[in-house]
Structure 1
Amino acid sequence: MDFDIVALSRLQFALTALYHFLFVPLTIGLSIILAIMETVYVMTGRTIWRDMVKFWGVLFGINFAMGVATGIVMEFQFGMNWSYYSHYVGDIFGAPLAIEGLMAFFLEATFVGLFFFGWDKLSKRAHLVVTWLVALGSNLSALWILIANGWMQNPVGAALNPQTMRMEVTDFGAVLTNPVAQAKFVHTVSAGYTVAAIFVLGISAWYLLKGRHVALARRSMTVAAAFGLAASLSVAVLGDESGYQSSEHQKMKLAAIEAMWETEPAPAAFTAFGFPDQQARETHYALHIPMVMGLIGTRSLDTEIPGIAELVKQGEDTIREGIVAYEALQTIRAVAPDSAMPAEAKAVFEEKGHALGYALLLKRYVDDPRLATPAQIHQAALDTVPPVAPLFWSFRVMVGLGMFFIALTATFFVLSVRRTLDQHRWLLKVAVLAIPLPWVAAEAGWIVAELGRQPWVIEGVLPTAMAVSHLGVATLLTTIAGFAAIYTVLLVIEMKLMLKAISKGPEEFTVAAVPSLPKPRPPAAPAVNQPHSA
């Protein structure tokens, strides 16, 4: 029953997180694209660029509203479904979330209003500053959230207070400069930029196929192609950095992603294709590329990457160290709070305390880890292996789509330089069909990051099974069904609003709303090779 509660709590959080992450990347990326377009407007004075900002701004606003609605629930869940997690690490995890709300979200939300309603009340330069502040707020929100999430992946700058049984900050600077958090931030925002670029590229391609709003579509496509190419290349480079950080701090995650069951001689090969079998501990029909995994994971040719079997053995040794730390912890906690800690127990805990979380893995099998049998220790060590097949395939879907985005944006960048964007209708159709693919890649990346951390909610510190609230199965099933229904309705509403705005086109929101402009005439069909001005 306890395991059912854990599984259902994880399912609920995964459901709400995956829904929320449908909106976040587009908000992050579109905010930068809007700022770029408005910068061009201020520099050139051409109203077509203002029209572009207003049109894409409407789509940004719809997505932003849905992102806020779904994001609020995320933070409430820490208290509702993960109360022991909040108690155990709230002093650390809560700080970045609070800063995100005060510094980033309030900044973004305030200037979003000025962005939409300040066109006739602010000067061009003042409105441009507002747009860049909206973009800054969007990206700062991601920064602080990923600092919190990065700490869950690599808990630095903190220590457990054995008397209060709470993690406390020892070095907030280390939390902020956590290399895992920094790698996740740049990788995630670059992915968001790619999502927005493909979104703008695809809608612009649809307009070109329909022969509508050609001038706006061409310019939008040019911006999206250049921005998307830079972003997709950045995702690849920064993804390599994330892989290297995993080899440093999350070795089991890296081994599971690669389905590396045994340690291979350096440099390890990369498994491009295969069918991982976790029960048999082998990968069927594996296709290996020599040396590539060693270069990705260690950036060297002579450093081994440990396999799953070796890491499980290391896990057994760490669990035994954790049992010693647990014994010292119980001795310390048996002393009155106003008394000094027993010197010997304190020394043991300081030496072995880093392994305490591994002893807590035994709580699933025995109330007192000190009474665990060798078989239970071995089983707890096996629990440190995350689900291999979902990680293996999610990673490859993410990487494969990333390569496709590089090729797609590079192709349209070349076409935009040659001013031949509308000469290849089949490429325009590919761009339209590619619109949902960045979300598939983003969700796959989330699965890799979060499923790969299991069985830990805090890597090496707090097992997921210990972090949940004591809720009933019926309560969890009811809330899961409720959230799924509400979020699905919100998703349908957003898609309808987006499609309606796209179908109506930019005049509905831009040109017709500018009284100083003459009434627009239907655009003439451009010649195939006719150059267009910036």
Structure 2
Amino acid sequence: MIIDSEVVTLSRAQFALTALYHFLFVPLTLGIVWILAIMESVYVMTGREVWKQMVRFWGVLFGINFAMGVATGITMEFQFGMNWAYYAHYVGDVFGTPLAIEGLMAFFLEATLVGVFFMGWDRLSRIQHLLVTWFLALGTNLSALWILIANAWMQHPVGAKFNVQTMRMEVTHFSEVLFNPVAQAKFVHTVSAGYVIGSMFVLSISAWYLLRGRNVDFARRSMTVAASFGLAASLSVVVLGDESGYAVSENQKMKMAAIEAMWETEPPPASFTVFGIPDVQNRTTHYAFHVPWVMGLIGTRSIDTPIPGINNLVEDTKGKIENGLQAYGAMLALRANPNDAQAKTTLAQYDDDMGYALLLKRYLADPRQATPADIQKAADSTIPNVPVLFWAFRIMVACGFYFIALFAYSFWLASKRQLDRNRWYLRLALYSLPLPWVSTELGWIVAEYGRQPWAIEGILPTALGVSSVTAGQVWISLGGFVLFYTALAIVDAVLMVKYARKGPDELGLWPMRHAPRAAGATDAKGALP
């Protein structure tokens, strides 16, 4: 049975739509919750009521965002059974473990503490409520950790082995899954990007208040926290992004070559292409402007290690497909006779490449019947969309350096107590609000779109992971998700804009009500209050 390419395309589009939309909310939750923890810590240390009201106001926007994140995240779980049933069967033992731990250990903790955070202001002491807020921040990051462990295993599968009898990937060393180096790099990079989004969110809305002369003291303090936290976070994103890039060059060489539009292997250390026009048909990059050594130093941390080009990697893949065909034949022989000693030996020798043979199933029912032309086609299919990755990466990096400059200037203004002196700066801060989301979504595209055609790198092609459904059925579910997510988008936009426009003053949080004066007290002019 040859795979229906329309079903694969629609299933991918549906998961991409829901994942991209869900990822609008997750990073803001990761970032703003730490800002709440910082603000509340200042409140507990100083006892100044303004900091408490800051926590409560930004907490309202956090709560709206958290609810939307939960609503959009739950629907994604159903897609593994609905659209990716074979994927769930093939790697469920490995992939499902961190997801289950995330639900039991992190999500329930996070969801419970959200309720205590909002309902506990008058029921808990200052210290107790502060601990709730800090544990809430910890819970959100634990959720991200376990999700990214699962995702990193898809990028760099370790600690698992294929079982011929069950036809599934099974965990062999959970510690290797847990401490996957790709997971570590992805986690710190992803959460730092979330901190940038949270900081920009607070900075931009506070700038809007200052432009209108509202809640001035409130907005200044909020911008000071956002500028400080945002500067540290934006610097971290760039530094940790270097580590993430190194992990890609080690484990996903085709993705790295596509990001650079590097068609041929260059002498080490490879140069970084600042600008160029990738030409997929002719496999070249026009008008390329190179910076010597930079890519080699980032990608290999050396001056003598080459970064393979796309054409070279395609040739290597052809050899892996041929090796994988031997493993595939041995696997079928063992299914028929589990005691076949020769098949066991062959499978042990070539089992690491069996996933490459499965690339042929997109074109042939039986990969063993593949011709050299079929093998070439399968090898060429491992080239992701080079222009998309090339430009997505560069726009993301440009945004990253812009954030450093903006937050550094904001921090300098805050230290000089001049945040509200330059209206052009306030407008710039306001108009910069969507940029962190743009860069984060582009980062998701680089990470996930860049590993195609693999659902699990080198093990399971994406085309094999789909459910046995028709294109019409996927169209129906895709249409339903579009309507559902559109409705959620409208609700979220209305609520966010409504409460941001109201501000702490219209919500009764600012200016703060002063305590009643003692009977007979007078003001500066001697009049009774």
Same fold at TM > 0.5: yes
2:90 corresponding residue in structure 1: 88
Alignment of 1:23 with 2:25, yes or no, is: yes
CA distance in 2, matches of 1:378, 1:411: 53
**C-alpha distance in structure 2 between counterparts of 1:232 and 1:438, whole Å:** 10
Counterpart for residue 239 of structure 1: 241
CA distance in 2, matches of 1:432, 1:37: 21
Distance 1:507 1:344 in 2: 78
| 1:92-111 pair list within 5 angstroms | 92-111=94-113
Displacement after TM superposition at 1:514 (Å): 8.3
Among 281, 286, 289, which residue is 1:287 paired with?
Answer: 289
Structure 1 residue 510 displacement after superposition = 5.2
Match of 2:186 among 176, 184, 187: 184
Answer whether contact 1:357 1:461 (CA < 8 A) is retained. Answer: yes
Task: Give the distance between the partners of 2:508 and 2:132, measured in 1 at CA.
Answer: 18
In structure 2, runs of 5+ residues without a counterpart are 518-529
| Separation (CA, whole Å) in 2 of partners of 1:274 and 1:481 | 37
- Mean alpha-carbon deviation: is it higher for 225-234 or for 477-486? 477-486
What SS does structure 2 have at the residue aligned with 1:38? helix
Write the letter of the residue equivalent to 2:102.
E
Q: What amino acid maps onto 2:169 in structure 1?
A: M
**Contact 1:54-1:509 at 8 Å conserved across structures:** no
- Kept in 2: contact 1:272–1:288 (CA 8 A): yes
Picking from 193, 196, 210, the partner of 2:195 is 193
Once the two structures are TM-superposed, the CA of residue 246 in structure 1 deviates from its matched residue by 0.6
Deviation of 1:264 (Å): 0.5
CA contact 1:55–1:510 (8 Å) conserved in 2: no
Pairs within 5 Å for 1:162-241: 162-241=164-243
Aligned residue runs from structure 1 range 22-421, under 5 A? 22-335=24-337, 340-421=338-419
How far residue 368 of structure 1 moved from its aligned partner, in angstroms, is 1.5
Contact 1:263-1:310 within 8 A present in 2 as well: yes
What are the equivalent positions in structure 2 for 1:408-447 lying under 5 Å apart?
Answer: 408-447=406-445
Measure the CA separation in 1 of the matches of 2:254 and 2:421: 49
Which residue identity lines up with residue 385 of structure 2 in the other structure? P
Q: Helix, strand or coil for the counterpart of 1:22? A: helix
C-alpha distance in structure 1 between counterparts of 2:76 and 2:513, whole Å: 43
Give the whole-Å Cα distance in 2 for the aligned partners of 1:351 and 1:170: 18
Question: One-letter code of the match for 1:322?
Answer: G
The separation in 2 between residues aligned to 1:167 and 1:403, in whole angstroms, is 41
Q: Does the aligned pair in 2 maintain the 1:205–1:217 contact within 8 Å? A: yes
CA drift at 1:245: 0.4
CA contact (8 A) 2:31 2:197 kept: yes
Cα distance in 2 for partners of 1:313, 1:518 equals 81
1:430-478, Cα deviation, whole Å (9 max, x unpaired): 0000001100001000000000010000000000000000111111112
Q: 2:211–2:423: 8 Å Cα contact kept in structure 1?
A: yes
One-letter code of the match for 2:8? V
RMSD: 1.4
From the superposition, tell whether residues 352 and 494 of structure 1 become closer, same or farther in structure 2 (CA, over 3 Å). same
Contact 2:215 2:511 in 1 (8 A): no
Q: Which residue of 2 aligns with 1:526?
A: none
Aligned to 2:467: 469
- What letter matches 2:63 in structure 1? G
2: distance between equivalents of 1:513 and 1:130? 26
Match of 1:524 in 2: none
Which whole-Å deviations, capped at 9, do the CAs of 1:24-58 have from their partners, x for residues lacking one? 00011011110011011001100010010000000
How big is each residue's C-alpha offset from its partner over 1:116-151, in whole Å with a ceiling of 9 and x where there is no partner? Answer: 010000000000011111111111000000000000
Could you tell me whether the CA contact under 8 Å between 1:275 and 1:283 is conserved in 2? yes
**Alignment correspondent of 1:528:** none
Query: Secondary structure at the residue paired with 1:168?
Result: strand
SS of 2:354's partner is helix
Residue pair 2:263, 2:310 contacting (<8 A) in 1 also: yes
SS in 1 for 2:467: coil
Quote the offset at 1:187 in angstroms: 0.4
- Using the TM superposition, give the Cα deviation of residue 508 of structure 1 relative to its aligned residue in structure 2, in angstroms: 3.9
Deviation string 1:307-336 (CA, Å, 9 cap, x unpaired) is 00000000000001100101110110002x
Q: CA deviation at 1:516?
A: 8.0
Q: Deviation at 1:509?
A: 3.8
Aligned partners of 1:260, 1:131: CA distance in 2, in Å?
A: 47
Report the residue type matching 1:173 in the other structure.
S
Q: Deviations over 1:169-203 (max 9, x none)?
A: 00000000000011001000000000010110111
1:496 corresponds to which of 494, 508, 521: 494
Deviation for aligned residue 1:492: 1.5
**Does the CA contact (< 8 Å) of 2:275 and 2:289 recur in 1?**
yes
1:290 counterpart letter in structure 2:
P
Is this contact kept in 1: 2:53–2:510, CA < 8 A? no
Structure 2 Cα separation of the partners of residues 466 and 473 of structure 1:
15
**Alpha-carbon spacing, 1:92–1:419, altered in 2? closer, same or farther (3 Å):** same
Q: Is the 8 A contact 1:54 1:510 kept in 2?
A: no
Partner Cα distance (1:62, 1:221) in 2: 21
Shift of residue 341 of structure 1? 3.0
Change (3 A) 1:230 1:510: farther
Deviation at 1:279, TM superposition (A): 1.1
Distance (Å, rounded) in 1 between the aligned partners of 2:512 and 2:228: 29
Q: Which residue of 2 aligns with 1:527?
A: none
Q: What amino acid is aligned across from residue 435 of structure 1 in structure 2?
A: L
* Identity of matched residues, %: 65
Q: 3-state DSSP class of the match of 1:356? A: helix
Moved more, 280-289 or 77-86: 280-289
Matched position secondary structure for 2:24: coil
Q: Note if contact 1:240-1:296 (Cα within 8 Å) is conserved in structure 2.
A: yes
1:517 shift after superposition:
4.7
Match of 1:523 in 2: none
1:93–1:148 contact (8 Å) kept in structure 2: yes
Structure 1, unpaired ranges of 5+: 520-534
Cα contact 1:51–1:510 (8 A) shared by 2:
no
Aligned residues: 515
